[in-house]
Chain A
Amino acid sequence: MKLTDTLQFASGSLRGSPTRTLLMILAMSIGVASVVVLTALGEGARRYVVDQFSSLGTNLVIVLPGRTETAGLGPGMLVGQIPKEITLDDAQAIMGSRAVKRIAPLTVGSATLSRDALNRDVVVLGSTSDLLEVRHMSIGVGKFLPAGDIHESASVCVLGNQMKQELFGNEQAVGQWVRLGDRRFRVIGVLSSQGESMGMRTDELVIIPVASAHQLFNTSGLFRVLIEAKNRDSIEQAKSDAEAIMFQRHAGEKDVTVITQDAVLATFDRILTALTMAVGGIAAISLAVAGVLIMNVMLIAVAQRVKEIGLLKALGAPPKQIRSLFFAEAALLSSIGSVAGLVLGYIGSTIIGQVYPSLPVSPPWWAVIAACGTALGTGILFSVWPARRAARLDPVAALAGR
């Protein structure tokens, strides 16, 4: 018997009982669709987090003061030691590493920003001109902090978009003077609106030169040093260089923590991929259920078509052929169900994408392949028994309908 004839015969017998066929396709497609939709959601969440991280900057290495011990308390803390702070000179020394492209020291504080009678409590970032590049910020109007000696405290500031709106409305802000704490700063630029990234709203920031911030807050230590490595491959090198330089400059004391953005990102990536797979796996259970349903309905089909099977045997169909007829039926059912499920799943993902536009919902390719594979696999696997049962029927009894 030719393959095309087998498929034709099988599709004929599927068309012969449309209700049964439709119900089985429905079960199969719901299984496939749920895998597609749920993994699309998981993948969307993963991509959302990854995007958030990369909006922080690329190839970032971050130096923070103090040593984070996974076991809890650091040895210094028991004797009341405060970790030695990171100074501007430390930050500049890190530039000595070949793997480092640029750095941006960071000091954070809060102060009252005021213009005439208007005032706001704001988060003040003290940094250098390189912050713009390192953090992927973009300037809307005017200029960012000027490049030059990082020890020089210029009285200039860059406003976040929202701060500018609140203080100046639609007026021109660049060139005007504002008061920050007890000092006066001239506005030299306004950041373009960027929204939120990793919990920090750049729209509500005021950025001033790091030396000015040290004077304003009367400190000399840095909150963070952001390091941008030359490229992806030099991230590890930049990290170990930074560690070595700090170790040397702090008199052999490991009192800073250096983390890479990649490490954090990779952790989130792993967690969310695992989550996506788990959710997909749960959805795959519905596929297995659909498989059992196919087996059940196939067994009923064998019982209903006993006479037809008997006839096929009398006409000279060997057991192998009877089996392949039932396999073909199962394969057709599963593949039609898979296609219907994919269509349903993609429609569902698109709807979710419309409802939550910030979530980049799209089913991962591996989930699509796995869903279709499982559908086909279970469909055919669960038809083995019914097909064997049909092939083993005694022709005499089958013709008599027994």
Chain B
Amino acid sequence: MIELQNVSRSFTVGDQQVSALRDINLRMDAGEYISIMGPSGSGKSTMLNLLGLLDRPSSGTYLLDGGNVTDLTDEQQAQVRREKIGFVFQSFHLVPRLTAAQNVELPMILAGIAPEERKQRVEVLMQNYGLSARADHRPDQLSGGQRQRVAIARATVMKPTVLLADEPTGNLDRATGWEVLKLLEGLLEQGITLVVVTHDTEIGARAHRQIHMLDGAIRSDERHTT
């Protein structure tokens, strides 16, 4: 469960204060499928960074699973990211010198999980995502869809409660994009909270709850029961 209370975020650009987010109040329940839409500069990326603890709000409070994570130290926030949050990026962000399997293994290495368990979990995930044959390939030997599947495997290997996807289909063709989206939606069955940031209305419309942003504020927040 995520709760933002009166969250604002402003940047100093030159000698001007620019507000990226203005006084946001938002509540997301566990297992929800949410899309955040809006034009560039509307604050949706800033919102995602705040939700992922990559950025700190200028004011306001962020509660994750009932605990206040706003005032945690860098080390503590890193731990929260490691255990509770998964990221999927538009440009995949795979480490080029590591194989697909090693990329998936990376979060578990950082968490200090024993090698045997790491190997086992990677194998299961690669199997589930149809990547077994590609396990020893480096990212530049993979297609875009395969790369994003590797990235999703990496984001879910630590069994996070929240998955944040920033334009996950942005660098993919339509067909592959749909495939990737289906894969993400499949995670909802495991009770994950899925937040997708996109400016593609067709993709955004698939979410059960759609948030439209404009100028750093929430313009609409609609729920669909499809």
| Residues in A lying within 8 Å of B, measured CB to CB | 1-2, 5, 9, 12-13, 15-16, 307-308, 310-321, 395-396, 399
Inter-chain CA distance A310–B97, complex, in Å, is: 16
Chosen A-B contacts, 5 in total, with CB atoms closer than 8 Å, are A5-B109, A314-B54, A315-B81, A317-B82, A396-B54
Binary contact track B122-142/A, C-beta < 8 Å → 1, others 0? 000000000000000000000
| Contact A399 to B54, CB < 8 A, known contacts A316-B81, A318-B78 | yes
9 interchain residue pairs of minimum CB distance: A316-B82, A318-B78, A16-B97, A316-B81, A318-B75, A395-B54, A315-B107, A5-B109, A311-B93
Min CB distance B34 to A, Å, is 20
Contact, CB under 8 Å: B110 / A2: no
Contact, CB under 8 Å: A316 / B93: no
In B96-121, the 8 Å CB interface with A consists of 96-98, 106-107, 109-112
Contact, CB under 8 Å: A311 / B95: yes
Contact, CB under 8 Å: B98 / A307: no
In the assembled complex, which residues on chain A have CB atoms less than 8 Å from the CB atom of B54? 313-314, 395-396, 399
* Max count, chain A CB within 10 A of own CB: residue among B54, B55, B111, B112: B54
Q: Which of B89, B98, B110, B111 contacts A12 (CB 8 A)?
A: B98
| Residues in B lying within 8 Å of A, measured CB to CB | 49, 52, 54-55, 74-75, 78-83, 85, 87, 89, 93, 95-98, 106-107, 109-112, 154, 158
Contact, CB under 8 Å: A399 / B107: no
Interface contacts (Cβ under 8 Å), in number, total 69
In the assembled complex, which residues on chain B have CB atoms less than 8 Å from the CB atom of A310? 93
Q: Which of B89, B95, B107 contacts A316 (CB 8 A)?
A: B107
Contact, CB under 8 Å: B95 / A396: no
Contact, CB under 8 Å: B110 / A317: yes
In the assembled complex, which residues on chain B have CB atoms less than 8 Å from the CB atom of A314? 52, 54, 81, 87, 93
Interface of A is mostly: helix
In the assembled complex, which residues on chain B have CB atoms less than 8 Å from the CB atom of A12? 97-98
In the assembled complex, which residues on chain A have CB atoms less than 8 Å from the CB atom of B80? 316
| Contact A1 to B81, CB < 8 A, known contacts A13-B97, A15-B97, A308-B95 | no
| Contact A396 to B93, CB < 8 A, known contacts A12-B98, A317-B110 | no
In the assembled complex, which residues on chain B have CB atoms less than 8 Å from the CB atom of A1? 109-112
Q: A315-B110, A316-B81, A319-B75 are in contact. List 9 more A-B contacts (CB 8 A).
A: A1-B109, A5-B109, A16-B97, A311-B93, A312-B106, A313-B54, A316-B158, A399-B54, A399-B89
Contact, CB under 8 Å: A307 / B93: yes
Contact, CB under 8 Å: A318 / B74: yes
- Output the nearest chain B residue to A305 by Cβ-Cβ distance: B95
In the assembled complex, which residues on chain A have CB atoms less than 8 Å from the CB atom of B109? 1-2, 5, 9
Inter-chain CA distance A318–B112, complex, in Å, is: 12
Inter-chain CA distance A241–B107, complex, in Å, is: 81
- Output the nearest chain B residue to A401 by Cβ-Cβ distance: B91
Contact, CB under 8 Å: A396 / B110: no
* Max count, chain B CB within 10 A of own CB: residue among A9, A312, A316: A316
- Output the nearest chain A residue to B86 by Cβ-Cβ distance: A315
Inter-chain CA distance A316–B79, complex, in Å, is: 6
